[in-house]
Amino acid sequence: MSVDDAVSDSDRKKNQYSYDRHSAEYRSQFKQITEEMHAKCPMAWTETYGGHWVAAGSHEVFELARCPAVSNDHDLRNERRGYKGISIPTASRVSAVRGGILEMDDPEHRIYRTVLNPYLSPAAVKRWEPFINDITRACLNEKIEQGSIDFVDDLANIVPAVLTLAMLGIPLKKWNMYSEPIHAAVYTPEHSPDIERVTAMHREMGLDMVNSMLEIRENPRPGIVNGLLQMRIDGEPAPDLEILGNLGLVLGGGFDTTTALTAHSLEWLSEHPDKRELLQRNLDTLLDPATEEFLRFFTPAPGDGRTFSDDIEIDGNHFKEGERLWISWAMANRDPAVFADPDKIVLDRKGNRHFSFGIGVHRCVGSNVARTVFKSMLTAVLDRMPDYHTDPDGAVHYESIGVIQGMRHLPATFTPGRKVGADLDETLEKLQRICDEQKLALPVTERKEAAVID
Amino acid sequence: MKVWVDSERCQGHTLCSMIAPDSFQLSDIDGSSSPVNEVVPADKQDQVREAAHSCPEQAILITDET
């Protein structure tokens, strides 16, 4: 490196900001750090995790997330340019498989996404609404007579898990085998004494995923697994590892994120009884905007890593090929340039073009699932447990918010009510039968009708 | 008022049809949006403006010519 290069390099990275996104301090000081970065360096260089850029401003995030010189690729076997995908630092657990379409660039990304879309589009998800509402109903049944519930363990961990398995074509009764390791892997640090148990559960789940794939290859049945098995790329089936990567993405993306959104929203509504009453009384007009506002404010998936695939200049910043970048959806969501009073939850916020599902070609493929499942759980709780009160001493937030801004527990009490219909186990058996009989997991291109629950 | 959706930019966030359900239709297959009619009736113009404002990809174009 010449002296000139060295000077220009330090000049390029002159807007430095030192912070550790995975530390507990980042969680407790998120507002202050965000305000400081917006004011001083909406595009900053940070030395943590081997050094990388951080896009914190809404404009910077908007431009970079849609920039053709920015790559999502995770090149595990160093066959292309050795890029490291969307995790910073690279997670040690995911060394064998890349993260599905989220760690691919076009045109490869588009080929797989085209397979997933007709299972997850707004019209496709709408068909599942009666099914989703029935799982929610059954979960609340389990707790409604005793007057106490943990909204994470007893509701928000279950509904997204059961639905995701149904869409994949994996038996619903296995929901716990999938839900627990995914949830626990996010909140258990690698140095935790519990990590062995979590890793063992993860292994069991991974094995079941492989077995499900092999089983469905032998005996096809409707669902995303089958869609990925049937797809052809230049006449050839997709490689098993890429199928598994995409299954992992659907599972990982579908579970803990919606759980996090639901728990945080229910907690906030308990702490703001006037707003809860307002929402309860105006669900028909407020449910949609309130959902978007909770998404903006709580941003369950706070950001994604990328790699510059070319030397490029944007707004006077010079980026070099190979440099890593963190795109902070969470910080962009608090940018006062786009969102007035960004730290306030405004249930009927206007112009709420939030970044919580990402933007650009990698917009969360499960966004319609997330919204629908969240709305089902929220409305059912407001309807059947209208006076619920969450317990601040029992609520457990994730220690750090580097991967998911989630919650481990959210206990609540409420005036007991009556059961409606069957309990969870019986309901899961019934829903499995309905799933099979009505072939609910077919893509919307092959089945348009909504589920009919008997 | 006229409205267009830039299909290169639209990524199927669905906010436009949530805000202005009579003015935008979504593809069954991937949720990408298109206007129901290019010309926006007077009583839908506020909704369409709000939809354009709320588009995460800034993919909705409107002109105020009638």
* Residue A141, φ and ψ in degrees, nearest 5: -55, -40
**Predicted model pTM:** 0.96
Strand, coil or helix: A73: coil
d(CA A381, CA A370): 17
Q: Which of A13, A21, A40, A88 is nearest to A325 (CA)?
A: A88
- Pick from A253-257, A314-318, A446-450: least confident: A253-257
In this complex, which of A66, A114, A367 lies closest to B13 when CB atoms are compared?
A367
CATH of the domain at B6: 3.30.70.20
d(CA A143, CA A148): 6
Give the list of residues 6+ apart from residue B2 with CB closer than 8 angstroms, or none. Answer: B38, B39, B40, B62, B63, B65
**Paired tokens of A183:** 């949830």
Give the list of residues 6+ apart from residue A432 with CB closer than 8 angstroms, or none. Answer: A171, A172, A173
d(CA A386, CA A17): 45
A307 and chain B: CB distance < 8 Å anywhere?
Answer: no
Interface of B with A (CB under 8 A): 11-15, 17-19, 26-31, 50, 53-58
CATH of the domain at A188: 1.10.630.10
Q: Is residue A176 part of a domain?
A: yes
Closest-CA distance, A113 to chain B, in angstroms, reads: 9
In this complex, which of A66, A357, A361 lies closest to B13 when CB atoms are compared?
A357
A66 and chain B: CB distance < 8 Å anywhere?
Answer: yes
Q: Other C-beta atoms within 10 Å of A200: how many?
A: 11
Enclosing domain of residue A214 = 3-438
- Pick from A189-198, A323-332, A350-359: least confident: A189-198
Residue A90 confidence (pLDDT):
85
Enclosing domain of residue B59 = 2-63
Residue A8 confidence class, pLDDT cut points 50, 70, 90: confident
Report the domain count for chain A.
Answer: 1
Residues of chain A positioned with their CB less than 8 A from the CB of B19: 288
Residues of chain B positioned with their CB less than 8 A from the CB of A354: 56
In this complex, which of B29, B53, B58 lies closest to A445 when CB atoms are compared?
B29
**Paired tokens of B45:** 């113009």
The mean pLDDT of A404-414, rounded to a whole number, is: 95
Closest-CA distance, A364 to chain B, in angstroms, reads: 9
Residues of chain B positioned with their CB less than 8 A from the CB of A351: 50, 53-54
Give the list of residues 6+ apart from residue A440 with CB closer than 8 angstroms, or none. Answer: A127, A128, A131, A166, A222, A434, A447, A451
Res A3 pLDDT > 80:
no
DSSP E strand stretches across A139-190: 148-150
Residue A182 confidence (pLDDT):
87
In this complex, which of A117, A352, A353 lies closest to B30 when CB atoms are compared?
A117
Strands A324-328 and A52-55: parallel
- Pick from A199-203, A338-342, B49-53: least confident: A199-203
* Residue A348, φ and ψ in degrees, nearest 5: -110, 35
**Paired tokens of A16:** 């430095």
Q: Is residue A261 part of a domain?
A: yes
Res A345 pLDDT > 90:
yes
Q: Give the number of beta-carbon pairs within 8 Å between A and B.
A: 67
Digit-coded pLDDT (tens) for A47-99: 999 999 999 999 999 999 999 999 999 999 999 999 999 999 987 665 678 99
Report the domain count for chain B.
Answer: 1
Full 3-state SS string of A225-291: HHHHHHCEECCEECCHHHHHHHHHHHHHHHHHHHHHHHHHHHHHHHHCHHHHHHHHHCHHHHHHHHH
In chain B, which residue's Cα lies nearest the Cα of A366? Answer: B13
Could B56 and A121 be called an inter-chain contact, meaning their C-beta atoms sit closer than 8 Å? no
In this complex, which of A121, A353, A368 lies closest to B29 when CB atoms are compared?
A121
Residues of chain A positioned with their CB less than 8 A from the CB of B31: 117, 121-123, 368
- Pick from A25-34, A395-404, A434-443, B33-42: least confident: A395-404
Q: Is residue A444 part of a domain?
A: no
DSSP assignment of A86-97 equals: T-SSPPGGGSSS
In a mutational test of the A interface, the residue from B7, B18, B29, B50 whose CB has the highest number of chain A CBs within 10 Å is: B29
Mean of the per-residue pLDDT values of chain A: 95
Res A418 pLDDT > 60:
yes
The mean pLDDT of A297-313, rounded to a whole number, is: 97
Residue A432 confidence class, pLDDT cut points 50, 70, 90: very high
Res A341 pLDDT > 50:
yes
Residue A2 confidence class, pLDDT cut points 50, 70, 90: very low
In this complex, which of A62, A118, A360 lies closest to B11 when CB atoms are compared?
A360
Give the list of residues 6+ apart from residue A286 with CB closer than 8 angstroms, or none. Answer: A278, A279, A347, A348
Residue A1 confidence (pLDDT):
46
Residues of chain B positioned with their CB less than 8 A from the CB of A353: 15, 53-56, 58
